[in-house]
Structure 1
Amino acid sequence: MHIDLIIEQADVLTMDPSRPSASRVGVLAGRVVGLDEELDGVTAEQTVDAQGATLLPGFIDAHTHLQFTGQGMSAVDLAGQGSVEAALGTIAAAAQHAGPEAWIEVVGYDQRVLGRHLTAQELDRAGGGRRVWARHISSHAAVVSTSVLDGITDRAVLAIPGVAEGLLLESAQEHVRAQRIPYPVQDVAGFVERAGRAARAEGITFCMEAGNGGFLSLSGIDLASYITLVEQGRMPVRMQVMPTSDVLHPVATNAQDTFSRGLDLGLRTGFGGDLLTLGAQKVMLDGGMMVQAARLTEPYVGSGGAGRWQDDPEAMRHAIVDGHAAGWQMAVHAIGDLAVDLAIEAFREAQQRHPRPGARHRIEHGGAIRPDQIPALAELGLAVVTQPSFIYDSVSDFADMLGPDRAPWLYRGRSLLDAGVRLVGSTDRPLPGSPLRAIQSFVDRTSKNGRVLGADEAITVREALELFTVHGAWVAGLENCLGRVSRGYLADLCLLGANPLTVPTEQIAEIPVLATAVGGELAWS
């Protein structure tokens, strides 16, 4: 038998309990066709000596934003700027090379690092009167210059506290997008391709774009950008896209269908092929914790505010129930504990009215989960799609915002797994943090300033690896062909310079990614 590829002399972590390890993997037509003795006497077009490197299934990033990431790779980046003066200087330097009508697009903006928010007036001076759009790293806020504020005609928005100084939170950012967007399809395709290549260099072979529509898209027809990449052979990773609930519209259905909103022709979760599929419908309940907009039952420490809803709670509840009735997998953004309450209530109502076992509904983030909510998550079969890198980058700040009594609720691990809740790993890029960083963070629970957060929630390295492989495949509905190195599975692989199970925990994040393969096509780092 002659096949396409044999990787030999590898330390293979198959993530398959029926055969946990191997040293040889064979690939034909994009799929694994054998391990070890199954390859005896088999020849290949290409044979790779892994020289003892560790071979794993390619990492699955279940919640990411490649459009924003790619756009940010060509924008003015404030990452590494530790003061207001340095940030404004970086913007001013970029503005010197821009025309008077140009937009100065800024990423990497984080008021926690700078010590306070920038103001519209400061952006006016730095940008020389140009339109400046500084997007917060969380994507839940932005600061804009006066010339951008002048383009907002909605007096209700202009009356929101902070807007006069240039600060726009959550959906108020739509008034910036209305002036700047849409980007051309080819531009968005380029953003996705560039960000996808960067993700692949971190061992990621499958990304789920967590929101196509509303302020999470750069074009109202952004699905065309992904289709363009597939048609032109430029898609660097497998993709699953999530339309947001606002892009659905009333559709003509029979009374027996029990739902009223959808996409034309009845498109929903599951449509697509090997490289591009339609995933969950996304409903955003609350805002981001970095800007204290995650919806809590009690106020943030030192603040009278307890976050905000993205829309009327009853409207959001109806969207979840209606989407469930229509056969969608639902991905519900719920960070604060009150938002998690609403998600639980909506999913319980959905299953009572329209029983559908195995729906695989998802809670996106689940940033603050109370102990009493854990049994309900397990009972309803809800997956929590978590971002363990936040433990390293942000949870120390979040713990101060919530105070000592609520800090143990943040980005849980062990308590959810022990209760039978399926945890799924993601990066939420463009926020910082690779899968390897996330894996280390869920094991050591240590922030970048050395603070240990929720030590009782630590999980094992193998469990953390499962978050980014077998559990990611399951939540995508692809557990029969992805997430393991096993015969018949797609040959999506990553080759690491060391074994995460055997190196000291504090070294996991620094393990080099040597190569990745999507469908057996090797790309070397």
Structure 2
Amino acid sequence: MLIRNVGIPKFVGGEGGYVDVRAGRRIEAIGALEPLGGEAVLEGHRAALLPGLHDHHIHLFGLAAARESVDCGPDVPLDEVVSKLRSAPGDRVRGINYHESLAGELTAEAIDAWVSDRPVRIQHRSGIVWYLNTAALIEVNADSADQPGIERGDDGRPNGRLFRMDGWLGEQLARVPPDLGAVSADLARHGVTGVTDATHTNDAAQARVFAARVANGELLQRVRLMSGPPLAGKHAGLTAGEHKIMLDEYRLPELPALVRRIRQAHEDEGRGVAIHCVTRIELLVALAALRETGASRADRLEHASIVPAECIAEISDLGLTVVSQPSLVFTRGDRYRADVDEAELEDLYRAASLLAGGVPFAGSSDAPYGDADPWLSASAAVNRQTSSGAVFGADERVSPETAVCGYLGRPDDPGGARRQIQVGELADLCLLDRSWRDASADLGKVGVRLTVRDGEVLHRHDAD
């Protein structure tokens, strides 16, 4: 394939002016090029050509399932949520994005008042809690289950709240993972050529499911798969990722146990760890454990939603990469301003201060908990505006180049050197619908004309 008349921005290896790029599986030539016989030619119209974007933290099957779920978010009126739950098709109903500001802490009895004739389960927007109505509790045999994540009332019976029970719920419901075709195509439409699935319940069985979806052409992107246990065996189309560790403030592990787990990942598995930490306490526990074990350059902090200023130097000294979700500033910023303690607001979803402190930093979506559109994420990193237009953490703004570079790190080193448009690099490419000068003026309006992985077209939208 020959892509003619494109601009390669300097931050990804460009030298100014407009060039042609020949792409096979790798970039074969850059310059003033003539088409080869039978070669496909695409006119670039002086638009910007970037490396394909990589979403460094996403939950693919969760994102696909979210498309078939009822949005129970706090910005949706309660009567509308109830109406949608009641009218949802199917033998069972799945809701997402719930926040207690809508109707308080849910119980089975509360959901029964909305829908009682079929099983309903609603996920809290944090991903920690599932709320089940009585029919759903019966469906999964919660009453007889010996599971610590099932909360029980004074009578000893399940009250409808299940904590971190995604894997168990899936087993009880014998659910078939949803189709990934639409999700993958949508990511390609945004220029995404690779993803890191950060779901903590991933295991060898789930890896086989992912591999099958790659093999049948349903999943178009390169896939790096985090997991708890190592992914035994080889899985075509997948790369094994970090050892995922979930820290939840309500059930923190003893520090010695956490230290042993990190050492096991480092020494026995030869993997870095990716530690989920969204609260100040979770971050401090993660840093204490990594301080004792000694951090690997492959270790990551997922989210690092709240980072006190005094922790930045230690994160840098340990060599940890922070993988953040700037889009949450836009989608949840107004709720954070209402809910988060004022003393912690300036510590929320840092970016510029981490980079200034020498912390490797990468962007991601955390979809379905965040928006999967990388251009929304990059725009939020630049503008730091909430959906209402309020500015949230102006001192944490970064440049458009830095914001996009958050998606250009290599999958195994997301905060390291950014991939470049150079001869010999993999032909994972993203052609915008405008010049970089125009794109950088408003990243939120950027469209993608062409997405290429390994020289194969994943998405194409021809200009009028």
Does the pair score TM above 0.5? yes
Give secondary structure in 2 for the equivalent of 1:166: strand
**Secondary structure of the equivalent of 2:385?**
coil
Q: Does 1:336 align with 2:271?
A: no
Between the aligned partners of 1:317 and 1:427, the Cα distance in structure 2 is: 28
Is 1:106 equivalent to 2:84 in the alignment? no
How far the C-alpha of 1:497 sits from its partner, in A, is: 1.9
Are 1:314 and 2:256 matched, yes or no? yes
How far is the alpha carbon of 1:172 from its aligned partner?
Answer: 4.8
Mapped pair 1:510 → 2:434: no
Aligned to 1:284: 246
Task: Say whether the 8 Å CA contact 2:57–2:323 is kept in structure 1.
Answer: yes
**AA in 1 matched with 2:443:** I
Q: 1:243 to 1:474 in 2, by over 3 A?
A: closer
Structure 1 distance, partners of 2:451, 2:34, is: 24
Q: For the Cα contact (< 8 Å) 2:200–2:246, is it kept in 1?
A: no
The 3 A distance-change label for structure 1 pair 199 and 225 is same
Rounded Cα–Cα distance in structure 1 between residues aligned with 2:123 and 2:204 = 19
Question: Which deviates the most, 277-286 or 78-87?
Answer: 78-87
| Aligned equivalents of 2:63, 2:13: Cα separation in 1 | 35
Query: Which whole-Å CA distance do the structure 2 matches of 1:435 and 1:140 have between them?
Result: 24
Answer yes or no: is the 8 Å Cα contact 2:27–2:424 preserved in 1.
yes
Decide which of 425, 428, 432 is 1:489's aligned counterpart: 425
Mean CA deviation greater in 103-112 or 514-523: 103-112
Shift of 1:77: 4.2
C-alpha distance after superposition, 1:48-91 (max 9, x if no partner)? 01223322111110000001111222334446972221111111
Equivalent residue for 1:197, pick from 182, 185, 204? 185
Secondary structure of the structure 1 residue equivalent to 2:8: strand
Q: Please say if 1:35 is aligned against 2:30.
A: yes
Q: Decide whether the 8 Å contact of 2:9 with 2:436 is kept in 1.
A: no
Residues 141, 173 of structure 1: 8 Å contact kept: no
Question: Could you tell me how far apart the structure 2 residues matched to 1:272 and 1:488 are?
Answer: 26
In the TM superposition, residue 105 of structure 1 has moved relative to its aligned partner by: 2.1
Q: Is the 8 A contact 1:14 1:56 kept in 2?
A: no
CA distance in 2, matches of 1:207, 1:282: 15
- 2:346 and 2:153 mapped to 1: Cα distance? 33
Secondary structure in structure 2 of the residue aligned to 1:405 = helix
Aligned residue-pair number: 452
Deviations 1:165-189 (A, max 9, x none): 5333x325555444224x34xxx3x
1:7 aligns with 2:3: yes
What are the within-5 Å matches in structure 2 for residues 60-79 of structure 1?
60-78=54-72
- Could you tell me which amino acid in structure 2 is paired with residue 324 of structure 1? H
Distance 1:126 1:41, change over 3 A: closer
**Secondary structure of residue in 1 paired with 2:386:** coil
Structure 1 stretches of at least 4 aligned residues deviating more than 6 Å after TM superposition: 160-163
Question: Is 2:338 aligned against 1:380?
Answer: no
Q: Where in structure 2 are there 5+ consecutive unaligned residues?
A: none
Q: Partner letter of residue 23 of structure 1?
A: V
Q: Which residue of 2 aligns with 1:462?
A: 401
Q: Quick check: 1:243 aligned with 2:232? A: no
Distance 1:320 1:489, change over 3 A: same
Residues 11-160 of structure 1: matches in 2 within 5 Å?
11-13=7-9, 15-17=11-13, 19=15, 22-28=18-24, 30-37=25-32, 39=33, 42=36, 45-78=39-72, 82-94=76-88, 97-98=89-90, 102-112=91-101, 114=102, 116-150=104-138, 151-152=141-142, 153=144, 154=146, 157-159=150-152
1:213-241 CA distance string (max 9 Å, x none): 2xxx5x87111112112332333111000
Unaligned 5+ runs, structure 1 = 249-261, 287-294, 296-307
The answer as to 2:340 corresponding to 1:402 is yes
- Check conservation: 1:385, 1:425, Cα contact below 8 A: yes
Q: Distance in 2 between matches of 1:231 and 1:389?
A: 31
Identity %: 23
Are the aligned partners of 1:205 and 1:516 in contact in 2 as well (CA < 8 Å)? yes
TM-score using structure 1 length: 0.78
Task: Confirm or deny that 1:206 pairs with 2:194.
Answer: yes
Residues 477 and 373 of structure 1, relative CA distance in 2, 3 Å threshold: closer
Is the alpha carbon distance of 1:360 and 1:148 closer, same or farther for their aligned partners in structure 2, counting shifts above 3 Å? same
**323, 345, 364: which one aligns with 2:302:** 364
> How far apart are the structure 2 equivalents of 1:20 and 1:363?
36
Shift of residue 504, structure 1, vs aligned partner:
6.5
Aligned equivalents of 1:51 and 1:499: distance in 2?
Answer: 9
Aligned mates of 1:263, 1:10 — CA distance in 2: 41
Q: Is 1:446–1:452's contact at 8 Å kept on the other side of the alignment?
A: yes
Report if the CA contact (8 A) 1:14-1:484 is conserved. no
CA distance in 2, matches of 1:499, 1:516: 16
Cα distance in 1, alignment partners of residues 99 and 189 from structure 2: 25
Partner of 1:304: none
1:339 positional shift:
1.5
**TM-score normalized with structure 2 length:** 0.88
Q: Secondary structure at the match of 2:135?
A: helix
Counterparts of 1:504 and 1:8, CA distance in 2 = 22
Instruction: Provide the rounded CA distance (Å) in 2 between the counterparts of 1:490 and 1:408.
Output: 39
Residue 233 (structure 1) aligns with: 217
SS at 1:9 equivalent: strand
Question: How far off its partner does 1:118 sit?
Answer: 4.8
- Secondary structure in 1 aligned to 2:180? helix
1:380 and 1:408 map into 2 onto residues whose CA distance is 23
Would the alpha carbon gap of residues 26 and 377 (structure 1) be closer, same or farther in structure 2, given more than 3 Å must change? same
